[in-house]
Amino acid sequence: MYLCIAMSINPYRHYDFYDERVGHVVIYLRPTSRRITAKWLDHKLTINAPTSIDIDRLRKYYEESIVPFALEHKPKTVNSIDSELLKVDVEQSDTIESHYAQIKYLKSDGKKVHLCLIISSADDINAPDTQTIINDGFKKCMKKVVANTVVAEAWQIARQLGVESRISQIKATLANSRLGSCSSHGVISLSHLLATRTWDERVNTITHEFAHLTHMNHSPEFHALHQQYLDHILKSKVVVR
């Protein structure tokens, strides 16, 4: 029924419709295709078929073969994290080898990066080793976002505060014990954990480390400078997107 309706309203070679059983379906009729193939692609059931195929045959194949395949192999979200900068969904798929995770970029709306961590359907989601795979994948996704977004925020804040020339490098790390650090050589390290923090929390960490460029301690002078930096940035509302 769904395929019949879709093909009756679209006479061209591309059919895009929603099937309540499987979700979003896209069909491409291609002159280079020699057979009918179906796969899940970005949460869409994508079907390729020869341009010359008989439509009645395609409808029958869709109902008898493709829909059962799609229902059996539909990607399943089993875990996720969602923050101001990053959204990561964990899905199980038959296309991934056991005990392995693949990071797939889905989209960015200019504010939040959406990634998908795909693991094998053969792995027990509750097993400790699978949880380790997922956690390691989360860390890599978070570090990627910090490297591409939070580091840029930090450089803009540095320019706003006039400390850019005193910084030799700003980098993302996998540190778990603290959100940031500053070396005596002007290297600012920002933890992957900042990917799940709010703007105010990220600014607090960044300005904290910039204050260490002047005071490599936590003296009253350090805290006063940190507060000065923090107040200046929060009032000016410097935002990198």
First to last CA, the chain: 44
Nearest of 43, 52, 61 to residue 13 by alpha carbon: 52
**pLDDT recorded at residue 192:** 96
**pLDDT recorded at residue 163:** 97
**pLDDT recorded at residue 8:** 47
Q: What is the pTM of this model?
A: 0.67
Compute the CA torsion angle 222, 225, 226, 227 (nearest 10 deg): 120
**pLDDT recorded at residue 241:** 44
Give helix 151-161 / helix 220-236 axis angle, nearest 10°: 100
**HSE of 213 in the Cβ direction (CA atoms, 13 Å)?**
22
Burial of 160 (0-12, 13-18, 19+ CB in 10 A): middle
Q: Can you tell me whether residue 38 is helix, strand or coil?
A: strand
**pLDDT recorded at residue 18:** 86
Q: What is the full per-residue pLDDT of the chain (241 aa) written as tens digits?
A: 445 444 444 444 778 888 888 888 999 888 888 889 998 876 688 999 998 888 888 989 999 999 998 888 776 666 888 899 999 988 888 878 899 999 988 888 778 898 989 888 888 888 889 989 999 999 999 999 999 999 999 999 999 999 999 999 999 999 998 999 999 999 999 999 999 999 999 999 999 999 999 999 999 999 999 999 999 998 876 555 4
What letter does residue 96 receive in the DSSP assignment? S
